[in-house]
Amino acid sequence: MARTKIVLAGEGGQGVQSIAKILVEAGYEAGKQVLYIPNFGVEQRGGVSIAFCQIADETIGEPRYSKGDIIIMLSDRAIDRCERYVSENSTVVYDTSVCTIKPECKCKNIIGIDANKIANEKLSARVFNIIILGVLLAATNVLELSDIKNAMEKALGKKFDAKPELRELNYKALEMGMNLVKEKAAL
């Protein structure tokens, strides 16, 4: 049974839950079984924010899982909190331009990306999380780009219609994110 378990973790305010929602919406619309649990404290900003997402072909049983297939860590605290979800079969992605430490864990693959730097220097700080969404899309490889674009339209369509250049900016961010993983995988 194909089931992909994702742990997406960052600081509150980085947009972790926003992209998790887009990801699972895309999965739902694509006819997959999906289950998403947001996990955060009482803070409006700050604190570690984690999204547990599952995308599967068959009915999903356990809502929470011990180990993830893809674990994305977007801050030092996220690394501290989420190393426990890493197994030997996990792919770990972390942002080298945010984190000052490197995940120390036994896993299949550790990928360092500099999404925050790219967002700030080449696009806009506001699409940092969309770059990460692109990373997720490429790393999980269970959904199509068109699925994600449709879900983005549902979540952000009104903003896009008011400012069409935002659509282009977000698509570009998505593509850059996907390429980040592809480049690393090619190495």
Partner 1 sequence: MVNKLIKEDTKMFLTGNEVLAYAANAAEADFMYGYPITPQNEIMHTWCKLLPKTEAGFLQTEDEISAGFSTLGGILAGKRAFTATAGPGNVIMQDAQSMAEMMRIPFVCAVMQRGGPSTATVIYAQQETRLTCYGGNGEGFRIVYSTAGHQDLYDYMIKAFNTAWKYRFPTYVLADGYQGKMREPVMLYDPASRGIKMVPVTPSLLGEGQIGIDRKSVHMRNTYNMEEELMEVLDSYQVDYDKMAEEVAEYEEYKAEDAEILIIAHGIVARSARTAVDELREKGIKAGLFRPITIRPLAVKPLRNAVSRAKQILFTESANGQLAQMVLEKLYGLTTPYSTLYKMGVGVTGDDLVEKVESMVKSPSVV
DSSP 3-state percent helix, strand, coil across the chain (nearest 5):
50, 20, 30
Contacting partner 1 within 59-98 (CB under 8 A): 60-67
Q: Determine, following the binding rule CB under 8 A, whether residue 105 of this chain makes contact with partner 1.
A: no
Helix ranges (H only) for 46-127 are 76-82, 115-122
Q: Determine, following the binding rule CB under 8 A, whether residue 33 of this chain makes contact with partner 1.
A: yes
The β-bridge relationship of strands 33-39 and 48-56 is antiparallel
Smaller CB distance to partner 1: residue 154 or 172?
154
How many whole angstroms separate alpha carbon 86 and alpha carbon 68?
A: 6
Q: Determine, following the binding rule CB under 8 A, whether residue 137 of this chain makes contact with partner 1.
A: no
**Minimal distance in Å, beta carbon 82 to partner 1?**
15
Residues making contact with partner 1 (CB under 8 A):
21, 24-25, 28, 33-42, 60-67
